[in-house]
Structure formats: structure tokens, C-alpha cells
Structure 1
């Protein structure tokens, strides 16, 4: 212990030194000494995730659940990477603390605001049979990202969730909303999923709508690539005339 302390006086930012010191105390079953070493280590080097992982692991192995939770909370104050948050959530789930896990997810999705984590949050609610809560998470995610940052994967996950609940009309609305609001070049997978859904659950008119939407998408891509391709413009307008949407036809002629 004396040697380690002297070494730390010289190299207090040496991660390996702290790890070996704490592990020595743990092997010697000097729990309070080990706890003290971990505490000092995370105070001096709070961005060294190894310390936090080992500190929380030790407390959990000692069945000090409240103490382990306190360490996790200290860690989360530093807004660490996503794996740290997910580790904390798994810790709470091991002890069936669903409300605590939910509260962590609430903080997590704002610290790391990415669609995949909102989807993970919704899956958590769904997996624990909180269907309305899962739906609210998806709805909040779409509001959170707004029209400027719409994400294809989020809409697909939301629609598939509704499909899993046999809410096919809801799924259809989600697909259509996404296709109406997202840039066409970012919708290829969305179109495929929408087509799959309608072929499986839709009637003839809804399948026709999908086909029309897909053709419209293809025409839009074609005229965007070559705005002087008049044959494509005329084909596009003829298709729109068959649908009878006068405003859209007029707008397309103007373009």
C-alpha cells in the first residue's frame, strides 16, 4: 500500500496504477480500502470509464445495491458514453426496478439524442408490456426531432410497433406521414416497408396508393436528375391527372 501511494504521488494520472492498487485491495478483501481507492480514482480521473465499471461491479458483488446506485449516479453526472447509461439501466432491471430504469432512459435520450436510443427506450416499454407508454415514446421522439431532422429508422420502428399491435391503420398513417414529410432521397427503405405492409394487410385501393406513391417518387427522382427530360414530365403529369389532384397537377406544370 505504501509503495502504491508513493507511486501515485508521482503518477497520479496513471490509470493502470490505480487499477492495480484497487485490485490489490480487493484481492486482500480490504473492501473499505478498495472503495477509498476507487473513490479517489474517479474523482481525479472521472473520464476513465474503467474505474466506474469496476467500482460499480465491486459494490454490486458486495450486495451494496444502494451504494452501487450512488456510484452510478455520480458517473451519470459526467454524461458518459451510451454504454455507461445502458449498463446503469441493466443494473436496475436486474433488480426489477422498472421505474428507475425508465427514469434513466428519460435522461439518457436527452444526453444522447439519437433516434436509435429513442427506439431502444420504446422497445424497453414494449418489452415490459407498457404499450401506451411505448407509443408515447415514439410520438415524443418524432416531436423531439421535428420536421428538420426526421429519421427513416424511427418511423419504420414506430410503424412496425403499430403493426405488431395489429393497429394497421395507425401504421399506415405513420408511413404516409413520413413519406409526405421526408426528403424523397431518404425514403427508399421506408417505401419498401410501406409496400410490404400494404401487400400484407392492405386492400386493393391501399395497394394502388402505394404503387402510385412509388411511381411518383421515381418520377420526382428522374426530373430532379434531369429537369429537361420533358417526356418524363409529361408522363408524370399524366399520372397525376389520373389521380385528379388539381392543385398538385397545377404545381407540377408550374415547375
Structure 2
């Protein structure tokens, strides 16, 4: 088990039980107590949990469990629709190849795909594929792998390997958290691996996220802010976030 996978499992255990000791975590994951202490320190730095004497407890402000697609569809729906429309300006003007990540905001980008040019679209999202299937100007490529119920996204080695063979003009990515200091993040390690591969395969990376995601960190980082070319968000963005993102070299587009 890789360290980040073990840390995610530890975080889930602490969240489910409300408390866990160093000793029982070491036994559960067949590692030393010193390794567990390092894992707990790393998790505390991300805000997922808080260390206490002999173990750890959850940080109440952190939501480690992901909401399902239906719940997320209805959250900030107007902002996501506006973001999707604004992000459409980043589709290659003369046709080309694009990646569309899984997510309820990226799905809104797919709703606004232009039909006046030919595009090859790669996605790991079942809902995005359903939106685009049958459009005469779209050549659709669906990544393989295990489909996560929470996000209806294909993840795993098959998806990552396919992405490693691709080069696309533009990638549209979603995120659960966006900060200048720690970049883009998401709760699940397998989704993070796919997102990392998407970033590597793209000549231009567009992040789409409503303003509630800005200034927040999720469990697994997948891209430093320096790898993001543009961010499309809504007008609820804090002035400080706008300034810091712009200073970091990100083009901030307000929907």
C-alpha cells in the first residue's frame, strides 16, 4: 500500500470511529507506530484530522466523505451553469482535441461544446459521455477502468495508461479544492491519479470550480497551481483569492 493510500484509509478509519489510537492503526495497517505518527502528522497538516495524545480525532470542518453526483448537481447550480458557458471560450477555435474531466461543473462545460467545428473529446465521465454521444461534430473517446459510484468516473491503471499515450490541446478539470499554496486537490487517490495524468497530457489546462472551492484544500493534491493556465469561476471569488491566483500566473475568468 502506498503512503497516500494508507493515509486515506487511516483518515477514513478516524472519521468513521471518531477516534483511533496510534497502536491500533499500526496493527491495522501492518506498519510501525513511527510510520503512523508520520501519517497522522501529514494528515493534520492537510486539516483532515487533529492529533491528540496517543492517537487522532477528526477535524470537524473537513468533509472527507464525498457527496454523490445528485447532491452535487443541485449545489451552486446557477454558478456551475455560468462557469460552463464561460469555459466554452477555451475550446480550440479551429477544432482539435480536448479532455473533459469528471464532475458536475465540467459536465456544464460539455453542455456548451461548440458544434461549428470538429472536436475529438476524451473523458472519463459517464455523464459527460452521455451528453456528447451522437453529436455529429464530436468524436468521443471514453477512458476505461473502474467506475466510481460517487462521481460516475472511470479510474484506475487502465485510465492512467491510456492518458499517458495522449496529447491534447486543452484539458478541462474540476477540483474539490483550489489554493495557491497547495494547488488543486480532490478527496480520492484514484481520481487524483487520473487528474494528474490529464494535466500531463494537455498543452493547456483550464480548471473550472465555483468560488466555494477556492481557498479550500481536499485530501489529495493533484496539480500545483503553476500547472494551471486558466481558472473559470463565479463572481463570488474573494478579492484576495483573485489577486493571489493572478499573481501566480493563472488567468482568472469570471462567469
TM-score band, normalised by shorter chain: under 0.3
TM-score by length of 1: 0.24
Greater radius of gyration (CA)? 1
Task: Give the number of the structure whose residues are more often strand, by fraction.
Answer: 2
Task: Give the number of the structure whose residues are more often helix, by fraction.
Answer: 1
